[in-house]
Structure 1
Amino acid sequence: MLMPSILSNDFMDDFFGVPRVTGFGRNFDNDFSRMMTTDVKETESGYQVDMNLPGFSKEDIKAELKDGYLTIKAETNQNNDSQDDDGNYIRRERYTGSCSRSFYVGDNITQEDIHAAFKDGVLTLSVPKKEEIPQKDETKYIAIEG
Protein backbone atom coordinates (compact mmCIF):
# COMPACT_ATOMS: atom_id res chain seq x y z
CA MET A 1 0.00 0.00 0.00
CA LEU A 2 1.29 3.44 -0.91
CA MET A 3 1.40 5.50 2.26
CA PRO A 4 0.89 9.27 2.24
CA SER A 5 4.01 11.29 2.92
CA ILE A 6 2.42 12.56 6.12
CA LEU A 7 3.26 9.11 7.53
CA SER A 8 6.86 8.91 6.35
CA ASN A 9 9.78 8.94 8.77
CA ASP A 10 11.30 12.01 7.20
CA PHE A 11 8.37 14.37 6.74
CA MET A 12 10.43 16.68 4.54
CA ASP A 13 11.15 14.03 1.85
CA ASP A 14 8.09 14.70 -0.30
CA PHE A 15 8.18 18.46 -0.24
CA PHE A 16 9.31 20.13 -3.39
CA GLY A 17 12.20 21.72 -1.55
CA VAL A 18 11.76 24.30 1.17
CA PRO A 19 8.87 26.76 0.97
CA ARG A 20 9.35 28.96 -2.07
CA VAL A 21 9.19 32.61 -1.12
CA THR A 22 9.49 35.48 -3.56
CA GLY A 23 9.21 39.19 -2.99
CA PHE A 24 10.91 42.18 -1.50
CA GLY A 25 10.22 44.10 1.65
CA ARG A 26 11.72 45.19 4.89
CA ASN A 27 10.27 42.22 6.82
CA PHE A 28 11.14 39.62 4.18
CA ASP A 29 14.20 38.20 5.94
CA ASN A 30 12.59 38.23 9.39
CA ASP A 31 9.35 36.54 8.26
CA PHE A 32 10.97 33.79 6.19
CA SER A 33 11.88 31.67 9.22
CA ARG A 34 8.25 31.68 10.39
CA MET A 35 6.57 31.34 7.01
CA MET A 36 4.75 28.09 6.30
CA THR A 37 6.21 26.20 9.25
CA THR A 38 4.01 23.14 9.61
CA ASP A 39 2.97 20.82 12.43
CA VAL A 40 1.27 17.49 11.68
CA LYS A 41 -0.61 15.61 14.34
CA GLU A 42 -2.05 12.13 13.86
CA THR A 43 -5.58 11.62 15.18
CA GLU A 44 -7.78 8.52 15.25
CA SER A 45 -9.52 9.47 12.03
CA GLY A 46 -6.75 11.24 10.14
CA TYR A 47 -4.20 14.02 10.38
CA GLN A 48 -4.35 17.62 11.55
CA VAL A 49 -2.00 19.94 9.68
CA ASP A 50 -1.31 23.36 11.22
CA MET A 51 0.57 25.78 8.96
CA ASN A 52 1.78 29.24 10.03
CA LEU A 53 0.99 31.94 7.48
CA PRO A 54 1.78 35.23 9.24
CA GLY A 55 0.80 38.40 7.42
CA PHE A 56 -1.61 36.65 5.05
CA SER A 57 -5.40 36.94 5.03
CA LYS A 58 -7.87 34.17 4.22
CA GLU A 59 -8.36 35.62 0.73
CA ASP A 60 -4.60 35.34 0.04
CA ILE A 61 -4.56 31.55 0.55
CA LYS A 62 -5.46 28.84 -1.96
CA ALA A 63 -5.49 25.08 -1.35
CA GLU A 64 -5.48 22.73 -4.34
CA LEU A 65 -5.64 18.95 -4.57
CA LYS A 66 -4.29 17.47 -7.80
CA ASP A 67 -2.91 14.00 -8.56
CA GLY A 68 -2.72 13.12 -4.86
CA TYR A 69 -0.77 16.26 -3.94
CA LEU A 70 -2.21 18.91 -1.64
CA THR A 71 -0.65 22.27 -2.50
CA ILE A 72 -1.05 25.35 -0.32
CA LYS A 73 -0.26 28.69 -1.99
CA ALA A 74 -0.26 32.10 -0.31
CA GLU A 75 0.28 35.43 -2.06
CA THR A 76 0.06 38.97 -0.74
CA ASN A 77 0.48 42.51 -2.03
CA GLN A 78 0.73 45.19 0.65
CA ASN A 79 1.11 48.91 0.07
CA ASN A 80 1.79 51.33 2.95
CA ASP A 81 1.83 54.75 1.35
CA SER A 82 1.85 57.81 3.62
CA GLN A 83 1.66 61.39 2.37
CA ASP A 84 1.82 64.80 4.00
CA ASP A 85 -0.81 67.53 3.43
CA ASP A 86 0.89 68.64 0.18
CA GLY A 87 0.81 65.13 -1.28
CA ASN A 88 4.54 64.53 -0.80
CA TYR A 89 5.57 61.09 0.29
CA ILE A 90 6.89 60.81 3.81
CA ARG A 91 7.15 57.04 3.60
CA ARG A 92 6.44 54.63 0.80
CA GLU A 93 6.74 50.89 1.43
CA ARG A 94 5.49 47.93 -0.54
CA TYR A 95 5.66 44.23 0.06
CA THR A 96 4.81 41.56 -2.49
CA GLY A 97 5.39 37.95 -1.67
CA SER A 98 4.22 34.44 -2.35
CA CYS A 99 5.01 30.99 -1.05
CA SER A 100 3.78 27.46 -1.65
CA ARG A 101 4.17 24.03 -0.17
CA SER A 102 3.02 20.60 -1.34
CA PHE A 103 2.26 17.33 0.46
CA TYR A 104 1.47 13.93 -0.99
CA VAL A 105 -1.77 12.81 0.68
CA GLY A 106 -2.68 9.87 -1.57
CA ASP A 107 -4.65 9.41 -4.75
CA ASN A 108 -7.80 8.27 -2.96
CA ILE A 109 -8.34 11.57 -1.06
CA THR A 110 -10.83 13.99 -2.64
CA GLN A 111 -11.17 17.71 -2.05
CA GLU A 112 -14.46 17.07 -0.22
CA ASP A 113 -12.55 14.92 2.31
CA ILE A 114 -10.24 17.78 3.36
CA HIS A 115 -11.52 20.49 5.69
CA ALA A 116 -9.69 23.79 6.15
CA ALA A 117 -9.96 26.74 8.55
CA PHE A 118 -7.88 29.90 8.90
CA LYS A 119 -7.66 31.79 12.18
CA ASP A 120 -5.05 34.12 13.69
CA GLY A 121 -2.50 33.45 10.93
CA VAL A 122 -2.72 29.65 11.22
CA LEU A 123 -4.22 27.45 8.50
CA THR A 124 -5.61 24.21 9.94
CA LEU A 125 -6.31 21.30 7.59
CA SER A 126 -8.00 18.02 8.51
CA VAL A 127 -6.98 15.16 6.21
CA PRO A 128 -8.72 11.81 6.77
CA LYS A 129 -7.02 8.43 6.74
CA LYS A 130 -8.17 6.34 3.80
CA GLU A 131 -7.08 2.92 2.70
CA GLU A 132 -5.93 2.51 -0.86
CA ILE A 133 -8.48 0.64 -2.93
CA PRO A 134 -6.69 -2.36 -4.40
CA GLN A 135 -7.11 -2.69 -8.13
CA LYS A 136 -8.40 -6.03 -9.33
CA ASP A 137 -6.09 -7.88 -11.65
CA GLU A 138 -8.47 -8.77 -14.39
CA THR A 139 -7.37 -10.92 -17.28
CA LYS A 140 -8.74 -9.62 -20.55
CA TYR A 141 -8.94 -11.98 -23.48
CA ILE A 142 -8.92 -10.97 -27.12
CA ALA A 143 -11.58 -12.57 -29.29
CA ILE A 144 -10.15 -14.64 -32.14
CA GLU A 145 -12.26 -14.77 -35.26
CA GLY A 146 -12.50 -17.61 -37.76
Structure 2
Amino acid sequence: MANLFPTSRDFFFPQTHFFDHAFDSFFTKTNQPSVDIKENEHNYKMAIDLPGMNKEDINVTYNNNLLTIEAQSNQETENSDEATNYLRRERVSRSFKRQFIMNNIKFDGIECKYENGVLNINLPKNDQKNLEQNYKINIQ
Protein backbone atom coordinates (compact mmCIF):
# COMPACT_ATOMS: atom_id res chain seq x y z
CA MET A 1 0.00 0.00 0.00
CA ALA A 2 2.98 2.34 0.47
CA ASN A 3 3.53 2.41 -3.31
CA LEU A 4 -0.09 3.26 -4.06
CA PHE A 5 0.62 6.99 -4.03
CA PRO A 6 4.33 7.70 -4.59
CA THR A 7 5.87 10.53 -2.59
CA SER A 8 9.31 11.68 -1.51
CA ARG A 9 7.95 12.89 1.84
CA ASP A 10 9.06 11.16 5.05
CA PHE A 11 6.14 10.53 7.44
CA PHE A 12 8.41 10.13 10.45
CA PHE A 13 9.68 13.71 10.50
CA PRO A 14 7.13 16.23 11.84
CA GLN A 15 8.84 19.22 10.20
CA THR A 16 7.59 18.08 6.77
CA HIS A 17 4.15 19.30 5.83
CA PHE A 18 1.51 16.81 4.81
CA PHE A 19 1.08 17.96 1.18
CA ASP A 20 4.62 19.23 0.48
CA HIS A 21 5.68 16.49 -1.93
CA ALA A 22 2.56 14.35 -2.22
CA PHE A 23 1.70 15.54 -5.72
CA ASP A 24 5.23 15.92 -7.13
CA SER A 25 5.06 13.12 -9.67
CA PHE A 26 1.44 13.89 -10.55
CA PHE A 27 2.20 17.44 -11.71
CA THR A 28 5.72 17.03 -13.06
CA LYS A 29 5.28 13.96 -15.28
CA THR A 30 4.05 15.25 -18.63
CA ASN A 31 4.16 14.07 -22.18
CA GLN A 32 6.05 17.14 -23.33
CA PRO A 33 9.13 16.46 -25.43
CA SER A 34 12.56 16.96 -23.92
CA VAL A 35 14.29 20.18 -25.00
CA ASP A 36 17.98 21.04 -24.72
CA ILE A 37 19.07 24.65 -25.28
CA LYS A 38 22.70 25.73 -25.57
CA GLU A 39 23.96 29.28 -25.97
CA ASN A 40 27.25 30.69 -27.19
CA GLU A 41 28.23 34.22 -28.19
CA HIS A 42 26.85 33.83 -31.74
CA ASN A 43 23.73 31.66 -31.50
CA TYR A 44 21.33 29.43 -29.61
CA LYS A 45 21.14 25.72 -30.44
CA MET A 46 18.07 23.69 -29.57
CA ALA A 47 17.46 19.95 -29.73
CA ILE A 48 13.86 18.72 -29.27
CA ASP A 49 13.08 15.00 -29.01
CA LEU A 50 10.11 14.17 -31.27
CA PRO A 51 10.22 10.40 -31.86
CA GLY A 52 7.55 8.98 -34.15
CA MET A 53 6.67 12.32 -35.72
CA ASN A 54 6.95 13.13 -39.40
CA LYS A 55 8.53 16.35 -40.61
CA GLU A 56 5.15 17.38 -42.05
CA ASP A 57 3.55 17.12 -38.58
CA ILE A 58 5.85 19.80 -37.11
CA ASN A 59 5.32 23.57 -37.30
CA VAL A 60 7.95 26.07 -36.09
CA THR A 61 7.32 29.84 -36.04
CA TYR A 62 9.02 32.90 -34.60
CA ASN A 63 6.81 35.88 -33.77
CA ASN A 64 7.52 38.87 -31.51
CA ASN A 65 10.52 37.17 -29.84
CA LEU A 66 8.45 34.04 -29.20
CA LEU A 67 9.61 30.75 -30.74
CA THR A 68 6.70 28.32 -31.04
CA ILE A 69 7.11 24.62 -31.78
CA GLU A 70 3.92 22.67 -32.46
CA ALA A 71 3.31 19.13 -33.64
CA GLN A 72 0.30 16.91 -34.14
CA SER A 73 0.38 13.29 -35.20
CA ASN A 74 -2.55 10.98 -35.89
CA GLN A 75 -1.90 7.30 -36.47
CA GLU A 76 -4.40 4.54 -37.15
CA THR A 77 -3.78 0.78 -37.21
CA GLU A 78 -6.25 -1.83 -38.36
CA ASN A 79 -5.71 -5.60 -38.26
CA SER A 80 -8.37 -8.09 -39.22
CA ASP A 81 -8.65 -11.82 -39.66
CA GLU A 82 -11.74 -12.97 -41.57
CA ALA A 83 -11.33 -16.60 -40.46
CA THR A 84 -11.82 -15.75 -36.78
CA ASN A 85 -13.95 -12.60 -37.25
CA TYR A 86 -11.32 -10.73 -35.27
CA LEU A 87 -10.98 -7.03 -35.88
CA ARG A 88 -8.69 -4.70 -34.01
CA ARG A 89 -8.52 -1.02 -34.71
CA GLU A 90 -6.33 1.37 -32.73
CA ARG A 91 -5.92 5.11 -32.97
CA VAL A 92 -3.21 7.24 -31.46
CA SER A 93 -3.30 11.02 -31.48
CA ARG A 94 -0.47 13.12 -30.05
CA SER A 95 -0.05 16.84 -30.00
CA PHE A 96 2.01 19.38 -28.14
CA LYS A 97 2.97 23.02 -28.17
CA ARG A 98 6.08 24.55 -26.59
CA GLN A 99 6.99 28.23 -26.59
CA PHE A 100 10.26 29.94 -25.72
CA ILE A 101 11.13 33.62 -25.41
CA MET A 102 14.19 34.10 -27.63
CA ASN A 103 15.20 37.74 -27.93
CA ASN A 104 16.97 39.30 -30.90
CA ILE A 105 17.15 36.43 -33.34
CA LYS A 106 18.40 36.93 -36.89
CA PHE A 107 15.52 35.69 -39.09
CA ASP A 108 17.42 34.96 -42.29
CA GLY A 109 19.97 32.72 -40.56
CA ILE A 110 17.60 30.36 -38.74
CA GLU A 111 18.26 26.71 -39.59
CA CYS A 112 15.93 23.88 -38.65
CA LYS A 113 16.49 20.20 -39.39
CA TYR A 114 14.51 17.10 -38.37
CA GLU A 115 16.46 13.85 -38.39
CA ASN A 116 16.14 10.54 -36.51
CA GLY A 117 13.36 11.83 -34.24
CA VAL A 118 15.25 14.97 -33.16
CA LEU A 119 14.43 18.51 -34.27
CA ASN A 120 17.59 20.66 -34.28
CA ILE A 121 17.20 24.43 -34.47
CA ASN A 122 20.03 26.93 -34.85
CA LEU A 123 19.02 30.49 -33.95
CA PRO A 124 21.73 33.05 -34.73
CA LYS A 125 21.81 36.10 -32.47
CA ASN A 126 21.15 39.57 -33.83
CA ASP A 127 22.62 42.72 -32.25
CA GLN A 128 19.61 44.78 -33.25
CA LYS A 129 16.12 44.59 -31.80
CA ASN A 130 13.68 42.59 -33.96
CA LEU A 131 10.76 44.28 -35.61
CA GLU A 132 7.36 42.79 -34.91
CA GLN A 133 6.78 40.27 -37.65
CA ASN A 134 5.74 36.67 -38.05
CA TYR A 135 8.29 34.23 -39.47
CA LYS A 136 7.57 30.60 -40.43
CA ILE A 137 10.65 28.43 -40.22
CA ASN A 138 11.15 25.77 -42.90
CA ILE A 139 12.25 22.36 -41.65
CA GLN A 140 14.86 20.50 -43.71
Q: Distance in 1 between matches of 2:40 and 2:127?
A: 15
Of structures 1 and 2, the one with the larger relative CO (CA 8 A, separation 6+) is 1
Paired residues of 2:104 and 2:125 also in contact (CA < 8 A)? no
TM-superposed CA distance for 1:108, in Å, is: 5.2
1:122 matches 2:118: yes
TM-score of the superposition, structure 2-length normalised? 0.63
Q: Alpha carbon RMSD of aligned pairs, Å? A: 2.5
Which SS does the other structure have where 1:130 is aligned? coil
Paired residues of 2:112 and 2:120 also in contact (CA < 8 A)? yes
Q: Distance in 2 between matches of 1:44 and 1:87?
A: 65
Identity among equivalent positions (%) equals 34
In structure 2, the residue matched to 1:67 is 64
Task: Tell me the amino acid that sits aligned with residue 119 of structure 1.
Answer: E
TM-superposed CA distance for 1:68, in Å, is: 1.4
TM-superposed CA distance for 1:125, in Å, is: 0.1
In structure 2, the residue matched to 1:43 is 40
Q: Distance in 2 between matches of 1:108 and 1:60?
A: 24
Change (3 A) 1:75 1:88: farther
Structure 1 residue runs without a partner (length 5+)? 1-29, 134-146
Aligned residue runs from structure 1 range 1-146, under 5 A: 32=31, 35-85=32-82, 88-107=85-104, 109-110=106-107, 112-133=108-129
Q: Distance in 1 between matches of 2:90 and 2:68?
A: 30
**Total equivalences in the alignment:** 102
